[in-house]
Structure 1
Amino acid sequence: MYLHEQEDILFEEWKNSYPSDVRENIVIDGLCHNGELYKESRNSYSGNEEELWATAKRKILFLMKDPNSNPGEDYREWHWREITAKFFKVIFNWLQGLSEITPDYIPLLENDSYLDPANQVVLKYPLAIVNVKKISGSSSVLNNTLYDYAKRDAPFLRRQVRDILQPNIVVCGGGSGSVLNIAKQYIYPDLTFKTINNWCFFSEEQDLLLINSWHPSAIISDTQKIDDMMSNVADFINKTHSCIFR
């Protein structure tokens, strides 16, 4: 069964677990389309993202807090090849940097290492975004609310992340460490993660890296969001025997 088909089955069950008056606010996410645009460039067809994901040595998943003001939409169908919002530009840069960093090469903004426009990365590397809270929200969400949704939907989150997507790198986007803690507590509760540095947490058992990142919209410089991540991942590479970056 194709990956998108597995996602569709999961989300049908997920929606049905909520009251009928809530279901229309649920936003579907997962492996994002990279195909041709339709509906006047507002959505995109599925392209070769499943093939890219299946063959990628580094399956990078971005675990975010919640979708903003997008009730009833399907993240996967967004026009990723045309998106220029700063929030997603940071994610595009993270995707490219984590896909290309090696023991001998650190992609940095100061070295002009990134594609311009950044959105073209989806044609080269597969983009997967999973929101902890699937109910469309606003510009912010309280951490207590996020934990409540994570606890309620933990079985579905585990199926989406561990059973269907099976990433080996999970970028935990912000929440002052809340998203990282949710990943540990509700998605990977059976695994032990060793702290390598302030950014990198490693399960030797699964060869799985959790990255405690800034939120893409954090009011700090792009250098802090992107170059600091790459520098700390380089430190992770030097300190471990992980096969992810070899």
Structure 2
Amino acid sequence: YKMALYQIELPGGSGPRKVRFAQGAVFMAACSAGDQEEVAALLRQGADINHANIDGLTALHQACIDENAEMVQFLVESGSDVNRGDNEGWTPLHAAASCGFVQIAKYLIEHGANVGAVNSEGELPLDVATEDAMERLLKSEIKKQGIDVDQARKQEERIMLQDAMAVLSGRGSVAPHPNTKATALHVAAAKGYIEVLKVLLQCSVEVDCRDIDGWTPLHAAAHWGQEEVCTLLTDHMCDMAAVNHVGQTALDVADENLVDTLEELQKKQNVV
């Protein structure tokens, strides 16, 4: 299960910019080929510099992965979002840090990349760094900026709770992620964000909502070993027999330590 990001749509926003798939694909291909003239021409024609593929990767992500420093610089100077996350919350800096590309990481930081950004696993770029030089760079920048890494790792849960409270008060609505169809309920269930779940369940969200693979929040909670979440969802009468697109129930994908608990919860729900 991909613990993908979710969307909260607040009123008054213009929403994500729409581009034709063909144009986006051509733009990504031109960037990957390092053809700056073609990239510039496509941008003049209205291509979205932050166009993302099905995995949420932008051209800047790909340029970082490819260690194409010239394209990284060109995209950033042309307005690419240096803090845009992919479907799993990986920013371009996460990508560069994971690949060990120190000069690219340094350039991104100098141009506003957030060293305290966390992905969907709660990891900072520092947490995915594999090279000593990269770790030194990121630790130095974290110290210089006075970032509290423990607070940064908890930021997603805080933001999700704020968003959920906004929905509860009628100031927003929950929308699934455009690529994965995962909802805030899926993410909170997978990560054990109990307070977020409690608020969302007060918002009359569909407890058996499904992502693109047919997973319900219970599938996510069971798979990632979130016992308290499973109890909460079954108390709200989620469908424990729901199957994903390959015919698996939550019990089929559950962490082995949760099998007995799920069976007991099923018995309890049957009685109710």
TM-score by length of 2: 0.29
Flag the structure with more relative contact order, 1 or 2, with Cα contacts below 8 A and sequence separation at least 6: 1
- Which structure carries more strand by proportion? 1
Normalised TM-score (structure 1): 0.31
Larger Rg: 2
Q: Higher helix fraction: Structure 1 or Structure 2?
A: 2
